[in-house]
Structure 1
């Protein structure tokens, strides 16, 4: 029974419907051939009966009846063909619609799972920044700034970076927006840099208490060799207290490209989908700007023309036949998300071939 259940897939049902339509057409066509031949024989018999005159009268009656029955069989076969083939074709269409719906919903679920993994990852970043902002080495540096406290804070940040490899760097800026300590001072020479006009600094300075944090959308940062980062920040407060006076800001720089790349390339696609390379997984921001893609060529296209029709989750067929599935970030715990979407595209082979021809093979 297990084997029978496994064979009863929607694709199998569609194939059976197609086969039924073909077999029905073939069989009714064969019946039609037989009745046509029978009619010809009956006609010949009537002609011969007429020639025989009174002696062929009885035979002529039989021939006429055979001709009538042949016509009735032919009509019944024609009706049967129309009904069976019509029903089989209808079943085939319904099956195709069902398969399309199941595929679209499955891809939308995968898109939701993909953006949920991103959300959970970024939620941890929001926890990190709020926790580390209470570290005594960072608080001491801003309360009593001198060379020794700055060196101690740099060492402390370096230790954190050794354990948390998802960050490019961590910076401490004073209340005037001047970087006074960082975790990798030999690699990124940012000490003394002014960040007072950067959004992550200004937003962190405006937080009301230690439970709040700021986050900036993914973008290259010139202080980090123009590598794309998501910046999480919060205020460092006097005494490390939740409601203490704001002394400065802690900014942590999440190494976006490798972390997001791992997520979009690890979506649980079928082996067929992976081999065909027609299925693409993307993360886009609230303006549909492509921020991560399993096929990195999509990073060059800027924005993806996503049509959500006001829905948080769903799927649709684009004009070129591409199946587009999407899911809005649901957020996680205290992390509300930034309006980003998980996006999965599945192209017809001919559309994928044309796209590859325009953009070059990966």
Structure 2
């Protein structure tokens, strides 16, 4: 009788951990979908295009001021940039001392130039921001449709922690977001980012292999039996996601 009660309690806990994982990754997808839309919309703003197409003496000042205003209003970005087709910074919202610097060797620039469409990086540590960020980059097109440069944003990753911190996990529970290779890209402790790897967990393996949602019961590195709920990104609308997963654990 006691075993049946415990088994039922474990089933309830398992379902809850999977639900929390699903809800968390869904909230992240919806947030990042908006960041995806921002970059594409702002690349079409007149001041952004004029920074590359106009000959007006104040074109760069106008672009800088617009970018700074967007940073201040939206609050979720470290900075916004305009680049020419060679990767040279033409305008910036915050780091204006970088104007004129060539960034063509950066992976995100090479990716967007090859794609000629919206391109999103995985989480990485920015030497410019001195913090972890995600870059959203897309082409800037002239009125005639020709690519004249690129717009790129630096998302403030701290806003993802707001989602994690509000996740409904138990006192003995934990939650982490992992990338496609199993590396932790977010967790409540903010430690081990892009260092700790959870790919040895069966739950992580299930999510990384494409399973959308579920749970496992397995032992952690210390030998404790835990329930692991997992959910893989599904993206949201036009944003396809980055093959990330949420992993929620509860100690039995």
TM normalised by structure 2 equals: 0.90
CA contact (8 A) 2:183 2:194 kept: no
- Distance in 2 separating the partners of 1:181 and 1:147: 14
1:336 and 2:240 correspond = yes
Structure with greater helix share of residues: 1
The Cα of 1:145 is off from its aligned counterpart by: 5.3
1:146 CA drift (Å): 6.4
- For the residues of structure 1 that align with 2:249 and 2:60, how far apart are their CA atoms? 49
Matched, 1:289 2:193: no
1:305-344 equivalences under 5 Å are: 305-307=200-202, 308-309=205-206, 310=209, 311-319=211-219, 320=223, 321-344=225-248
Tell me what 1:199 maps to.
107
Residue by residue, what CA displacement relative to the aligned partner does 1:235-279 show, whole Å, maximum 9, x if unpaired? Answer: 00012x6xx1110100000011x111111110123xxx2xx3x21
Answer yes or no: is 1:302 the counterpart of 2:210: no
RMSD of aligned Cα (Å): 1.8
Contact kept, 8 Å, 2:185 with 2:194, in 1: the verdict is no
Higher RCO structure (Cα 8 Å, ≥6 apart): 2
Cross-structure match for 1:267: 167
> 1:164 Cα deviation (Å)?
0.8
1:217 partner SS: coil
- The partner residue of 1:137 within 21, 31, 47 is 47
Partner of 2:18: 108
Per-residue CA deviations over 1:182-240 (Å, capped at 9, x if unaligned) read 00135xx32112111222222222345xxx4100011111121x21111001000012x
Aligned to 1:246: 147
**What TM-score results when the alignment is normalised by the length of structure 1?**
0.63
Distance 1:179 1:205, change over 3 A: same
Give secondary structure in 2 for the equivalent of 1:176. coil
* Unmatched 5+ stretches in structure 2: none
Aligned length: 242
Query: Which structure: larger Rg?
Result: 1
CA distance in 1, matches of 2:12, 2:195: 29
